[in-house]
Amino acid sequence: MTKTNPGNFFEDYRVGQILNHATPRTLNEGDVGIYQSLYGPRFAVQSSDEFARAIGYPRSPVDDLLLFHVVFGKTVPDISLNAIANLGYADGRFLKPAYPGDTLTTVSEVIGLKENSNRETGTVYVRSTGRNQRGEVVLEYIRWVMVRKRDKNAPAPEAVVPKLPDRVDPKDIGGAVPPLDTKAYNFDLAGAPYRWGDYEVGERIDHVDGMTLEEAEHQIATRLYQNTAKVHFNQHTESKGRFGKRIVYGGVTISLARALSFNGMNNAFHIAAINGGRHVAPLFAGDTVYSWSEVLEKAELPGRTDVGALRTRLIAVKNQDASSFPFKKESGEYADGVILDLDIWVLLPR
Protein backbone atom coordinates (compact mmCIF):
# COMPACT_ATOMS: atom_id res chain seq x y z
CA MET A 1 0.00 0.00 0.00
CA THR A 2 1.36 3.41 -0.93
CA LYS A 3 1.88 5.95 1.82
CA THR A 4 1.83 8.90 -0.56
CA ASN A 5 -1.21 11.00 -1.37
CA PRO A 6 -2.16 11.03 -5.07
CA GLY A 7 -4.97 13.49 -4.42
CA ASN A 8 -8.70 12.94 -4.78
CA PHE A 9 -10.37 12.36 -8.12
CA PHE A 10 -13.94 13.25 -8.96
CA GLU A 11 -15.37 9.85 -8.05
CA ASP A 12 -13.83 10.06 -4.58
CA TYR A 13 -16.16 12.86 -3.45
CA ARG A 14 -19.59 12.63 -1.83
CA VAL A 15 -22.03 15.43 -1.02
CA GLY A 16 -21.83 16.15 2.69
CA GLN A 17 -18.26 14.90 2.94
CA ILE A 18 -16.10 16.83 5.45
CA LEU A 19 -12.44 17.36 4.63
CA ASN A 20 -10.13 18.37 7.49
CA HIS A 21 -7.12 19.83 5.74
CA ALA A 22 -3.57 19.25 6.92
CA THR A 23 -0.86 21.61 8.14
CA PRO A 24 -1.90 24.47 10.40
CA ARG A 25 -0.13 27.67 9.35
CA THR A 26 1.10 30.36 11.73
CA LEU A 27 1.33 33.72 10.00
CA ASN A 28 4.43 35.79 10.69
CA GLU A 29 6.02 39.09 9.77
CA GLY A 30 8.01 37.36 7.04
CA ASP A 31 4.82 36.29 5.28
CA VAL A 32 3.65 39.90 5.26
CA GLY A 33 6.98 41.14 3.93
CA ILE A 34 7.11 38.55 1.15
CA TYR A 35 3.51 39.27 0.18
CA GLN A 36 4.25 42.98 -0.08
CA SER A 37 7.38 42.34 -2.13
CA LEU A 38 5.51 40.10 -4.57
CA TYR A 39 2.56 42.42 -5.30
CA GLY A 40 3.39 45.85 -3.88
CA PRO A 41 0.02 46.61 -2.20
CA ARG A 42 0.01 50.14 -0.74
CA PHE A 43 -3.16 50.33 1.37
CA ALA A 44 -2.15 52.29 4.47
CA VAL A 45 -4.09 50.21 7.01
CA GLN A 46 -2.15 47.06 6.07
CA SER A 47 1.16 48.91 5.58
CA SER A 48 1.57 50.87 8.82
CA ASP A 49 1.03 49.77 12.41
CA GLU A 50 0.90 53.42 13.45
CA PHE A 51 -1.76 54.27 10.86
CA ALA A 52 -3.83 51.22 11.84
CA ARG A 53 -3.57 51.91 15.59
CA ALA A 54 -4.55 55.54 15.12
CA ILE A 55 -7.93 54.55 13.68
CA GLY A 56 -8.76 51.67 16.01
CA TYR A 57 -6.87 48.48 15.10
CA PRO A 58 -4.45 46.95 17.61
CA ARG A 59 -1.90 46.89 14.76
CA SER A 60 -1.88 46.37 10.99
CA PRO A 61 -4.02 43.39 10.02
CA VAL A 62 -2.70 40.87 7.52
CA ASP A 63 -3.72 41.70 3.96
CA ASP A 64 -7.12 40.15 3.26
CA LEU A 65 -5.84 38.23 0.25
CA LEU A 66 -2.82 36.82 2.10
CA LEU A 67 -5.36 35.46 4.59
CA PHE A 68 -7.48 34.12 1.71
CA HIS A 69 -4.55 32.44 -0.05
CA VAL A 70 -3.28 30.72 3.09
CA VAL A 71 -6.75 29.36 3.91
CA PHE A 72 -7.18 28.35 0.26
CA GLY A 73 -3.76 26.69 0.09
CA LYS A 74 -4.68 24.23 2.85
CA THR A 75 -7.49 22.88 0.64
CA VAL A 76 -5.46 22.13 -2.47
CA PRO A 77 -4.08 18.64 -1.65
CA ASP A 78 -7.60 17.37 -0.91
CA ILE A 79 -9.65 19.30 -3.46
CA SER A 80 -7.67 20.52 -6.43
CA LEU A 81 -4.49 18.47 -6.65
CA ASN A 82 -5.99 16.78 -9.72
CA ALA A 83 -7.92 19.80 -10.91
CA ILE A 84 -7.87 21.10 -14.45
CA ALA A 85 -9.14 24.52 -13.45
CA ASN A 86 -10.58 26.47 -10.54
CA LEU A 87 -13.84 27.72 -12.02
CA GLY A 88 -15.34 30.26 -9.67
CA TYR A 89 -16.10 31.71 -6.25
CA ALA A 90 -19.21 32.77 -4.35
CA ASP A 91 -20.46 33.74 -0.89
CA GLY A 92 -17.02 34.63 0.46
CA ARG A 93 -17.00 36.58 3.74
CA PHE A 94 -14.08 37.93 5.77
CA LEU A 95 -15.36 37.67 9.34
CA LYS A 96 -12.37 38.38 11.60
CA PRO A 97 -9.06 40.15 11.04
CA ALA A 98 -5.85 38.12 11.15
CA TYR A 99 -2.54 39.31 12.55
CA PRO A 100 1.03 37.98 12.58
CA GLY A 101 1.11 35.26 15.22
CA ASP A 102 -2.32 33.87 14.35
CA THR A 103 -2.52 30.20 13.35
CA LEU A 104 -4.94 29.25 10.57
CA THR A 105 -6.62 25.92 9.83
CA THR A 106 -9.17 25.03 7.15
CA VAL A 107 -12.09 22.60 6.88
CA SER A 108 -14.18 22.07 3.73
CA GLU A 109 -17.56 20.51 3.07
CA VAL A 110 -18.53 19.09 -0.32
CA ILE A 111 -21.83 20.77 -1.20
CA GLY A 112 -22.24 19.78 -4.85
CA LEU A 113 -21.09 17.39 -7.58
CA LYS A 114 -21.77 17.22 -11.30
CA GLU A 115 -20.08 15.01 -13.87
CA ASN A 116 -19.22 16.71 -17.14
CA SER A 117 -20.54 15.43 -20.47
CA ASN A 118 -17.12 14.09 -21.53
CA ARG A 119 -17.23 11.74 -18.50
CA GLU A 120 -13.53 12.46 -18.00
CA THR A 121 -14.03 15.27 -15.48
CA GLY A 122 -16.56 16.63 -13.04
CA THR A 123 -17.25 19.80 -11.09
CA VAL A 124 -16.84 19.71 -7.31
CA TYR A 125 -18.44 22.46 -5.16
CA VAL A 126 -17.02 23.04 -1.68
CA ARG A 127 -17.56 25.47 1.17
CA SER A 128 -14.25 26.11 2.93
CA THR A 129 -13.95 27.63 6.39
CA GLY A 130 -10.76 29.10 7.87
CA ARG A 131 -10.38 29.43 11.64
CA ASN A 132 -7.79 30.96 13.91
CA GLN A 133 -6.18 29.38 17.00
CA ARG A 134 -9.19 30.38 19.11
CA GLY A 135 -11.57 28.52 16.82
CA GLU A 136 -13.02 31.77 15.48
CA VAL A 137 -14.09 31.74 11.83
CA VAL A 138 -11.97 34.29 9.97
CA LEU A 139 -13.10 33.44 6.43
CA GLU A 140 -15.73 31.40 4.63
CA TYR A 141 -16.17 30.96 0.88
CA ILE A 142 -17.54 28.64 -1.78
CA ARG A 143 -15.57 27.60 -4.82
CA TRP A 144 -16.08 25.10 -7.58
CA VAL A 145 -13.37 23.16 -9.38
CA MET A 146 -13.13 20.97 -12.47
CA VAL A 147 -11.47 17.74 -11.33
CA ARG A 148 -10.25 14.77 -13.36
CA LYS A 149 -11.81 11.34 -12.99
CA ARG A 150 -9.54 8.45 -12.18
CA ASP A 151 -11.61 6.15 -14.42
CA LYS A 152 -13.79 7.49 -17.21
CA ASN A 153 -16.13 4.53 -16.80
CA ALA A 154 -16.63 4.96 -13.07
CA PRO A 155 -20.30 5.67 -12.26
CA ALA A 156 -21.08 9.29 -11.48
CA PRO A 157 -22.89 10.32 -8.32
CA GLU A 158 -26.29 11.93 -8.64
CA ALA A 159 -25.80 15.51 -9.79
CA VAL A 160 -26.24 18.11 -7.04
CA VAL A 161 -25.66 21.75 -8.00
CA PRO A 162 -26.01 24.11 -5.03
CA LYS A 163 -27.99 27.32 -5.34
CA LEU A 164 -25.51 30.14 -4.90
CA PRO A 165 -26.40 33.69 -3.82
CA ASP A 166 -25.91 36.49 -6.34
CA ARG A 167 -24.18 38.56 -3.69
CA VAL A 168 -23.38 38.66 -0.01
CA ASP A 169 -25.95 40.73 1.89
CA PRO A 170 -24.35 43.96 3.21
CA LYS A 171 -25.77 43.24 6.67
CA ASP A 172 -23.42 40.23 6.81
CA ILE A 173 -20.18 42.10 6.11
CA GLY A 174 -17.87 44.37 8.06
CA GLY A 175 -17.17 42.04 10.97
CA ALA A 176 -13.43 42.06 10.29
CA VAL A 177 -13.22 45.85 10.84
CA PRO A 178 -13.33 47.22 14.41
CA PRO A 179 -15.13 50.52 15.09
CA LEU A 180 -12.92 53.15 13.47
CA ASP A 181 -12.03 56.71 14.42
CA THR A 182 -12.35 58.19 10.95
CA LYS A 183 -11.30 61.61 12.25
CA ALA A 184 -7.87 60.10 12.79
CA TYR A 185 -7.80 58.62 9.27
CA ASN A 186 -5.06 60.60 7.50
CA PHE A 187 -6.09 60.87 3.85
CA ASP A 188 -2.77 62.44 2.88
CA LEU A 189 -0.89 59.41 4.16
CA ALA A 190 -3.47 57.10 2.59
CA GLY A 191 -2.74 58.64 -0.80
CA ALA A 192 -6.06 60.19 -1.89
CA PRO A 193 -8.96 62.20 -0.43
CA TYR A 194 -11.81 60.05 -1.76
CA ARG A 195 -14.29 58.64 0.75
CA TRP A 196 -17.19 56.23 0.31
CA GLY A 197 -19.53 59.06 -0.64
CA ASP A 198 -17.28 60.23 -3.47
CA TYR A 199 -17.95 57.14 -5.61
CA GLU A 200 -21.04 56.69 -7.78
CA VAL A 201 -22.79 53.57 -9.06
CA GLY A 202 -21.78 53.02 -12.68
CA GLU A 203 -18.43 54.76 -12.26
CA ARG A 204 -15.51 53.03 -13.98
CA ILE A 205 -11.93 53.53 -12.87
CA ASP A 206 -8.89 52.68 -14.94
CA HIS A 207 -6.19 51.79 -12.43
CA VAL A 208 -3.58 52.80 -15.04
CA ASP A 209 -0.55 50.90 -13.79
CA GLY A 210 0.62 47.58 -15.19
CA MET A 211 2.77 44.88 -13.60
CA THR A 212 4.69 42.16 -15.41
CA LEU A 213 4.80 38.81 -13.63
CA GLU A 214 8.06 36.88 -13.56
CA GLU A 215 8.37 33.10 -13.35
CA ALA A 216 10.10 33.14 -9.97
CA GLU A 217 7.47 35.44 -8.48
CA HIS A 218 4.47 33.22 -9.07
CA GLN A 219 6.41 30.14 -7.98
CA ILE A 220 7.43 31.83 -4.71
CA ALA A 221 3.91 33.13 -4.13
CA THR A 222 2.27 29.75 -4.57
CA ARG A 223 4.81 28.06 -2.31
CA LEU A 224 4.20 30.76 0.31
CA TYR A 225 0.58 29.58 0.50
CA GLN A 226 1.61 25.87 0.52
CA ASN A 227 -0.50 25.37 -2.61
CA THR A 228 0.67 22.07 -4.13
CA ALA A 229 -1.38 22.01 -7.34
CA LYS A 230 0.64 20.31 -10.07
CA VAL A 231 -0.36 22.77 -12.79
CA HIS A 232 1.56 25.56 -11.03
CA PHE A 233 4.83 23.76 -10.30
CA ASN A 234 5.68 20.81 -12.48
CA GLN A 235 7.02 21.87 -15.87
CA HIS A 236 7.94 18.26 -16.63
CA THR A 237 4.28 17.23 -16.64
CA GLU A 238 2.81 20.52 -17.83
CA SER A 239 5.04 20.55 -20.91
CA LYS A 240 2.82 17.71 -22.13
CA GLY A 241 -0.40 19.50 -21.19
CA ARG A 242 -2.74 21.74 -23.17
CA PHE A 243 -0.64 24.89 -22.72
CA GLY A 244 2.83 23.35 -22.68
CA LYS A 245 3.79 25.31 -19.58
CA ARG A 246 2.80 26.02 -15.99
CA ILE A 247 -0.31 28.04 -15.26
CA VAL A 248 -0.10 30.84 -12.72
CA TYR A 249 -2.21 30.25 -9.59
CA GLY A 250 -5.38 32.32 -9.96
CA GLY A 251 -4.85 33.91 -6.57
CA VAL A 252 -1.74 35.60 -7.95
CA THR A 253 -3.92 37.25 -10.59
CA ILE A 254 -6.37 38.41 -7.92
CA SER A 255 -3.58 39.84 -5.76
CA LEU A 256 -1.99 41.67 -8.69
CA ALA A 257 -5.33 43.18 -9.75
CA ARG A 258 -6.15 44.17 -6.17
CA ALA A 259 -2.73 45.80 -5.64
CA LEU A 260 -3.09 47.75 -8.89
CA SER A 261 -6.55 48.96 -7.82
CA PHE A 262 -4.91 51.15 -5.17
CA ASN A 263 -4.49 53.80 -7.87
CA GLY A 264 -8.03 55.16 -7.93
CA MET A 265 -9.38 53.30 -4.89
CA ASN A 266 -6.65 54.17 -2.38
CA ASN A 267 -9.00 54.16 0.62
CA ALA A 268 -10.79 50.88 -0.20
CA PHE A 269 -8.64 49.32 2.50
CA HIS A 270 -10.62 46.14 3.18
CA ILE A 271 -12.17 43.39 1.06
CA ALA A 272 -15.24 42.48 3.09
CA ALA A 273 -16.74 39.85 0.80
CA ILE A 274 -16.32 37.96 -2.47
CA ASN A 275 -19.73 37.89 -4.13
CA GLY A 276 -18.62 35.88 -7.12
CA GLY A 277 -15.94 35.61 -9.71
CA ARG A 278 -14.18 33.54 -12.26
CA HIS A 279 -10.80 33.14 -13.88
CA VAL A 280 -11.66 33.85 -17.49
CA ALA A 281 -8.33 32.90 -19.06
CA PRO A 282 -4.95 31.71 -17.80
CA LEU A 283 -2.06 33.94 -16.83
CA PHE A 284 1.52 32.94 -17.60
CA ALA A 285 4.93 34.17 -16.54
CA GLY A 286 5.97 37.12 -18.69
CA ASP A 287 2.43 38.49 -19.04
CA THR A 288 1.67 42.05 -17.93
CA VAL A 289 -1.46 42.62 -15.83
CA TYR A 290 -3.64 45.76 -15.83
CA SER A 291 -6.96 46.27 -14.06
CA TRP A 292 -10.04 48.45 -13.83
CA SER A 293 -13.04 48.60 -11.50
CA GLU A 294 -16.73 49.36 -11.93
CA VAL A 295 -18.90 50.45 -9.00
CA LEU A 296 -21.98 48.20 -9.05
CA GLU A 297 -23.67 49.14 -5.77
CA LYS A 298 -23.29 51.26 -2.64
CA ALA A 299 -24.48 50.20 0.80
CA GLU A 300 -24.55 51.53 4.32
CA LEU A 301 -23.76 48.95 6.97
CA PRO A 302 -26.22 48.45 9.84
CA GLY A 303 -25.02 50.26 12.95
CA ARG A 304 -21.91 51.67 11.22
CA THR A 305 -21.34 55.34 10.49
CA ASP A 306 -17.56 54.99 10.17
CA VAL A 307 -17.37 52.95 6.96
CA GLY A 308 -19.51 52.26 3.90
CA ALA A 309 -19.44 49.44 1.37
CA LEU A 310 -18.91 49.56 -2.38
CA ARG A 311 -19.73 46.56 -4.49
CA THR A 312 -17.23 46.62 -7.33
CA ARG A 313 -16.40 44.49 -10.32
CA LEU A 314 -12.63 44.12 -10.54
CA ILE A 315 -11.52 43.20 -14.05
CA ALA A 316 -7.96 42.16 -14.88
CA VAL A 317 -6.58 42.07 -18.41
CA LYS A 318 -3.23 40.95 -19.73
CA ASN A 319 -0.83 42.46 -22.23
CA GLN A 320 -3.00 45.48 -23.01
CA ASP A 321 -3.86 48.55 -20.99
CA ALA A 322 -7.31 48.94 -19.46
CA SER A 323 -8.08 52.42 -20.79
CA SER A 324 -10.89 51.18 -23.05
CA PHE A 325 -12.39 49.07 -20.25
CA PRO A 326 -12.42 45.78 -22.19
CA PHE A 327 -14.92 43.40 -20.74
CA LYS A 328 -17.37 41.60 -23.02
CA LYS A 329 -18.09 41.43 -26.72
CA GLU A 330 -21.53 41.97 -28.27
CA SER A 331 -21.93 38.19 -28.30
CA GLY A 332 -21.62 38.15 -24.52
CA GLU A 333 -18.23 36.48 -24.62
CA TYR A 334 -15.37 38.05 -22.73
CA ALA A 335 -13.17 40.36 -24.74
CA ASP A 336 -9.72 39.14 -25.68
CA GLY A 337 -7.21 39.63 -22.90
CA VAL A 338 -9.65 39.48 -19.97
CA ILE A 339 -8.28 37.09 -17.35
CA LEU A 340 -10.31 37.85 -14.20
CA ASP A 341 -13.85 38.98 -13.40
CA LEU A 342 -14.24 39.39 -9.63
CA ASP A 343 -17.28 40.81 -7.83
CA ILE A 344 -16.36 42.06 -4.34
CA TRP A 345 -17.51 44.30 -1.50
CA VAL A 346 -14.84 46.74 -0.31
CA LEU A 347 -15.03 49.09 2.66
CA LEU A 348 -14.02 52.77 2.72
CA PRO A 349 -14.16 55.45 5.42
CA ARG A 350 -17.24 57.69 5.32
Q: What is the pLDDT of residue 179?
A: 97
- SS3 letters across 52-105: HHHHCCCCCCCCHHHHHHHHHHHHHHHHCCCEEEEEEEEEEEECCCCCCCCEEE
Quick: pLDDT tens for 34-81. 999 999 999 999 999 999 999 999 999 999 999 999 999 999 999 988
Q: What is the pLDDT of residue 37?
A: 97
Q: What is the pLDDT of residue 6?
A: 87
**Residue 155 CB neighbour total at 10 angstroms:** 7
List b or e across 161-187, with b for residues whose CB sees 16 or more CB atoms inside 10 angstroms.
eeebeebbebeebbebbeebebeebee
Quick: pLDDT tens for 209-263. 999 999 999 999 999 999 988 888 888 988 888 899 999 999 999 999 999 999 9
Report the C-alpha gap between 304 and 298 in whole angstroms.
14
Cβ pair 229, 80 in contact under 8 A: yes
Report the C-alpha gap between 142 and 125 in whole angstroms.
7
Q: What is the pLDDT of residue 212?
A: 98
Q: Kindly tell me if the per-residue pLDDT of 90 is higher than 90.
A: yes
Sign of the dihedral through C-alpha 340, 65, 168, 131: positive
pTM of structure: 0.95
- Between 3-12, 47-56, 310-319, the lowest mean confidence (pLDDT) is in 3-12
Report the C-alpha gap between 278 and 87 in whole angstroms.
6
Q: What is the mean pLDDT of residues 291-304?
A: 97
How long, in residues, is the chain?
A: 350
Report the C-alpha gap between 153 and 13 in whole angstroms.
16
Q: What is the pLDDT of residue 5?
A: 86
Spell out the domains of the chain, with CATH numbers in brackets: 10-151+166-349 (3.10.129.10)
Cβ pair 275, 168 in contact under 8 A: yes
Quick: pLDDT tens for 139-169. 999 999 999 999 999 998 889 999 999 999 9
Q: What is the mean pLDDT of residues 28-33?
A: 97
